[in-house]
């Protein structure tokens, strides 16, 4: 069966890997990048290098854009609106929900089906089972090309509001950065000499255990008032080690407020709810 032709604009680390995965899956691929040399190996493997962004847009029914930011995407796509007749624009550039909405409005003015996406993967993960991409915007544009988008990672459509994919993307990244902040603080607390052994032998297994806890096995034996005391101890120990405690102190006041308001069971209830929703 003939695979859908795809154009990829932007061949940075991510765009290059997207194009490569599509080629590997047997799709005809046209590419364009400001620095054309980044296409050399893709061309050697069958991709077509378009001399201009407009020709890349015109070459395929699905146009995937993966550039550094939305301003650059607008500068490149703005003059090409006329090339988009019959094509769907899938923008995988990282941005804010508002930027996605503005881009969707621009696309709507020109009659272009617009799908915004947030890539939840690093370039080497693209095409692997653990990669997923959240999409929002044109439902018909997404449905028409879902099979092609699945090549890149599990395609998760979250709604027709164009900013939703970006919102999910940024929320997921904020969870990741919060976790990184916690990991960094934990390893600093034990000190650089022990950090590697501590991370591999204790921290990673501990975080896995917390993430995989069985909600049915949880009871209310971990009230927030008890955790607030432990948190104060962590802050005190961190200060004793001369560490910045900013990642923790901002939790102290809200925790105390929740306890004072009589919602001592709020955290276990919240964790149960989250875990129940994810199992």
Q: Of 30, 60, 94, 148, which lies in the binding site for ligand FVH, with binding defined by CB under 6 A? A: 94
Report, in Å, the least distance between residue 190 CB and ligand FVH: 29
Q: Is 123 in the site for ligand FVH (CB under 6 A)?
A: yes
Q: Is 162 in the site for ligand FVH (CB under 6 A)?
A: no
Q: Of 52, 105, 122, 222, which lies in the binding site for ligand FVH, with binding defined by CB under 6 A? A: 122
Q: Of 119, 165, 224, 228, which lies in the binding site for ligand FVH, with binding defined by CB under 6 A? A: 119
**Contact set for ligand FVH, span 220-279 (CB under 6 A):** none
Report, in Å, the least distance between residue 209 CB and ligand FVH: 28
> Tokens 């603080």 correspond to what residue?
185
| Range in contact with ligand FVH (rule: CB under 6 A) among 65-73, 83-91, 132-140, 245-253 | 65-73
Residue number, nearest CB to ligand FVH: 12
Q: Is 35 in the site for ligand FVH (CB under 6 A)?
A: yes
152 within 8 A of 126, measured Cβ to Cβ: yes
| Range in contact with ligand FVH (rule: CB under 6 A) among 54-62, 66-74, 157-165, 195-203 | 66-74
Report, in Å, the least distance between residue 195 CB and ligand FVH: 24
Residue (49 or 255) nearer to ligand FVH, CB: 49
Q: Of 43, 68, 146, 211, which lies in the binding site for ligand FVH, with binding defined by CB under 6 A? A: 68
Q: Is 133 in the site for ligand FVH (CB under 6 A)?
A: no
| Range in contact with ligand FVH (rule: CB under 6 A) among 102-110, 116-124, 187-195, 250-258 | 116-124
According to the 3-state scheme, what is the secondary structure of the chain? CCCCCEEEECCCHHHHHHHHHHHHCCCCEEEECCCHHHHHHHHHCCCEECCCHHHHHHCCCEEEECCCCHHHHHHHHHHHHHHHCCCEEEECCCCCHHHHHHHHHHHHHCCCCEEEEEEECCHHHCCCCCCEEEEEECHHHHHHHHHHHCCCCEEEEEECCCCHHHHHHHHHHHHHHHHHHHHHHHHHHHCHHHHHHHHHHHHHHHHHHHHCCCHHHCCCCCCHHHHHHHHHHHHHHHHHCCCCCHHHHHHHHHHHHHHHCCCCCHHHHHHHHHHHHHC
Binding mask 8-27 for ligand FVH (x = CB under 6 A): --xxxxxx------------
Q: Is 153 in the site for ligand FVH (CB under 6 A)?
A: no
Residues that bind ligand FVH (CB under 6 A): 10-15, 33-35, 38, 66-68, 72, 93-94, 119, 122-123
């Amino acid at each position: 069966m003939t695979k859908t032709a795809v154009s990829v604009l932007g061949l940075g680390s991510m765009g290059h890997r997207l194009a490569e995965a599509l080629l590997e899956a047997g799709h005809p691929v046209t590419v364009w990048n400001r620095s054309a040399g980044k296409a050399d190996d893709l061309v050697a493997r069958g991709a077509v290098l378009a001399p201009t962004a407009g020709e890349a847009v015109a070459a395929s029914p699905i146009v995937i854009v993966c550039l550094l930011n939305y301003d650059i995407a607008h500068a490149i796509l703005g003059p090409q609106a006329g090339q988009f007749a019959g094509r769907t624009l899938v923008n995988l550039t990282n941005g804010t929900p508002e930027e996605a909405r503005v881009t969707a409005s621009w696309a709507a003015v020109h009659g272009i089906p617009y799908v915004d996406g947030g890539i939840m993967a690093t370039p080497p993960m693209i095409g692997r089972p653990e990669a997923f991409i959240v999409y929002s915007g044109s439902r018909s544009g997404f449905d028409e090309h879902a099979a092609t988008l699945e090549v890149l990672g599990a395609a998760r459509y979250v709604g027709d509001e164009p900013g939703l994919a970006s919102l999910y993307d940024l929320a997921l990244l904020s969870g990741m950065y919060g976790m990184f902040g916690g990991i960094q603080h934990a390893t600093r607390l034990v000190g650089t000499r022990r950090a590697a052994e501590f991370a591999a032998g204790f921290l990673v297994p501990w975080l896995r255990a917390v993430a995989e806890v069985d909600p049915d096995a949880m009871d209310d034996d971990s009230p927030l008032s008890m955790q607030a005391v432990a948190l104060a101890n962590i802050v005190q120990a961190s200060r004793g080690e001369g560490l910045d405690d900013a990642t923790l102190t901002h939790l102290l006041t809200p925790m105390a407020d929740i306890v004072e308001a009589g919602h001592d069971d709020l955290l276990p209830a919240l964790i149960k709810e989250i875990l129940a929703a994810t199992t």
